[in-house]
């Protein structure tokens, strides 16, 4: 069953989704909680112009949850991306092969590539992992690509209550 209905509208995405008021885990006993409809409005970012004067570029992404059925304060919005940078080697970047993969490719600034497994002990993501909605349902994420990623596209995915809401490709431009 598809839990989201997506519509592009002037730079935002509206998604009506059924939020089951239980977590990601299956409950041990049947629960008779009615699902709620939550509208997600998310800023679209087709590209980010990387800074010439600094190694890392900071870009904020804003969004909002609203509902007539439930209080949307303190909802958890989770973020993932396919791009990372190394805390020990700022001359290149790492890109996952797919959203759920742990393997990917290291792209060195000298043009070399190396297949490898994501190591979160030495790799930093280009996105925050979690945002929490405020009393108005507003949330914010920070994307921080690095200079070595110029000319590439990154994917940004977000989910609410373990339901993948949407994604967008963002071109990292000069």
Per-residue pLDDT of the chain (174 residues; tens, 9 = 90+): 333 333 333 344 444 444 433 344 444 444 444 577 889 998 899 999 999 999 999 999 999 999 999 999 999 999 999 999 988 877 899 999 998 899 999 999 888 999 999 888 889 999 999 999 999 999 999 999 999 999 999 999 999 988 888 999 999 999
> Which CATH number does the domain housing residue 13 bear?
2.60.40
- Please state, as a whole number, how many other Cβ atoms lie within 10 Å of the Cβ of residue 21: 12
What is the domain extent for residue 102? 4-23+36-173
- End-to-end CA, the chain: 41
Whether residue 28 is contained in a domain is answered as no
Residue 146: the pLDDT is 94
At residue 34, the pLDDT reads 57
Q: Is 81 exposed, middle or buried (CB count within 10 Å of its CB: 0-12, 13-18, 19+)?
A: buried
Domain presence at residue 64 = yes
Q: Is 108 a domain residue?
A: yes
Asked whether the beta carbons of 141 and 128 are under 8 A apart, the reply is: yes
| In-domain check, residue 30 | no
What is the predicted pLDDT for the residue at 163? 87
Q: Is residue 31 in some structural domain?
A: no
Model pLDDT, residue 87: 85
- Write the CB contacts of 9 (distance below 8 Å, at least 6 apart in sequence): none
Task: Identify whether 29 is part of a domain.
Answer: no
Q: How far apart are CA 134 and CA 37, in angstroms?
A: 18
In a domain, 66, yes or no: yes
Given a contact cutoff of 8 angstroms between Cβ atoms, the answer to whether 171 and 47 are in contact is yes
Domain count, the chain: 1
Give the CA distances from residue 97 to residues 26, 54, 115, 116, in Å, rounded to whole numbers and listed in that order. 29, 28, 10, 10
The rounded distance, in Å, linking the Cα atoms of 86 and 99 is: 19
């Amino acid at each position: 069953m598809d839990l989201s209905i997506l519509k592009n509208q002037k730079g935002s995405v509206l998604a009506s989704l059924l939020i089951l008021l239980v977590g990601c885990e299956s409950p041990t006993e049947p629960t008779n909680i009615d699902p709620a409809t939550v509208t997600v409005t998310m800023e679209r970012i087709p590209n980010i112009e990387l800074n010439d004067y600094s190694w890392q570029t900071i870009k904020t992404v804003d969004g909002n949850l609203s509902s007539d059925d439930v209080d949307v304060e303190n909802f958890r919005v989770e973020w993932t991306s396919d791009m990372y940078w190394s805390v020990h080697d700022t001359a290149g970047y790492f890109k996952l092969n797919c959203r759920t993969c742990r393997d990917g490719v290291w792209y060195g600034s000298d043009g070399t590539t190396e297949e490898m497994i994501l190591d979160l002990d030495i790799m930093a993501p280009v996105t925050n992992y979690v945002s929490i909605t405020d009393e108005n349902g507003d949330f914010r994420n920070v994307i921080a690509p690095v200079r070595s990623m110029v000319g590439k596209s990154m994917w940004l995915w977000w989910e609410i209550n373990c339901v993948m809401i949407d994604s967008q490709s963002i071109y990292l431009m000069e």
